[in-house]
Amino acid sequence: MFDPLDLVVSMRRLLLASIVLSFFMVSINSFAHQPVMDMAPRWKGGYGFQLRYESYGSDTLLDGDSKVPNPVGVEFFVDKSWCEGVYTFDRSKRITFKLPYIRQVRIKSINAVGVKQKNSGVGDLIIGIPLKKYFNHGAETSNWGFTPSLRFPTGSHSGVYPLSDGSWDLGLDFSYSKETNKFYSYYDLFYWHNTEGERKMREGNEIGLDINWGIHAYHNNNTNSGIFLMWDISARHHDKSNSIALTDASAGSRIHSGPVFILYRETLMFRVEYKLKVYENLQEIGASKGNVLNISAGIIF
């Protein structure tokens, strides 16, 4: 016998699953996309938090896009633990924050000698204002987004291996996404304008493109749990920093791509992403960024 209440419950669970998908289908790039957040929560007064671990670096030395000998052992490795959050004023207006704790170590060639340098501490705070326009077409939902962001110089700019260049930076982000109950696509173009900071250090400006494609591989209506499988493509170009900058920002172009696995239950989510280096061309000799690992867990209210 048909029960209208069962239909309503099923529709609510399907909507929540769609929100979970939107929540985590983003590339979660620390500079471009918003945390829990690119789309969720979608209700007035909603909020959420996310903890994310990011790791990258290598001991591969590049000259342009060619691997070269590395006699002094030049390398760099960075681990970032991000705390991120969102508050939704209404469906189309949000405010987000992202704050990293950074642990970094490198071996730098100084007078043809490998010198080990390391640092750790709180990095730069990023505040974003995601603005979105939604369109509903039957079972399909799409939206266009625009997000201005401001990066505050909360990270330390002291020492020979600073966590930040101490600058106030402006980011602009344009996005488009489309989703059904089975498929999802996301496209994001962003630009960061980096100003001169402390000690006259200035990192180069950055432009990037992220593309996500995914499927809703499994969903259980009774427990509102499921699995998403996705593929991520990230392209970046970073202008050259000035000669005074001592941070890890390296000029060049990079493309990373790899799989994403998402597990969710009700409003709790867990995500693992591993992106392989597909292409990298540096404007000067330096260590490759290598592959990128992201592990995150979040909750929405």
pLDDT tens track for 248-257? 888 999 999 9
Candidates 273, 197, 211; CA nearest to 241 is: 197
pLDDT above 70: percentage of residues in the chain: 86
Q: Which residues contact 91 (CB under 8 A, 6 or more apart)?
A: 42, 43, 44, 132, 134
How many domains would you assign to the chain? 1
Res 90 pLDDT > 60: yes
- Helix or strand (DSSP H, E) at 9: helix 4-25
Q: With bands split at pLDDT 50, 70 and 90, how would you rate the model's confidence at 26? A: very low
Res 22 pLDDT > 60: no
Number of CB atoms found within 10 A of residue 15's CB: 12
Res 159 pLDDT > 80: yes
User: What's the pLDDT score for residue 7?
Assistant: 45
**Domain containing 160: what range?**
4-300
- Helix or strand (DSSP H, E) at 237: strand 225-238
Q: Which residues contact 2 (CB under 8 A, 6 or more apart)?
A: none
Residues pairing with 215 in the sheet? 183, 229
pTM: 0.87
Res 202 pLDDT > 70: yes
Q: Which residues contact 276 (CB under 8 A, 6 or more apart)?
A: 256, 257, 258, 291
CATH code where residue 258 lies: 2.40.160.40
Torsion of CA 159, 81, 21, 91, to 10 degrees: -60
At 198, give phi and psi (nearest 5°): -70, 155
User: What's the pLDDT score for residue 179?
Assistant: 87
pLDDT tens track for 103-129? 999 999 999 999 999 999 999 999 999
C-alpha distances out from residue 271 to 15, 101, 104, 125, 129, Å:
20, 19, 23, 23, 24
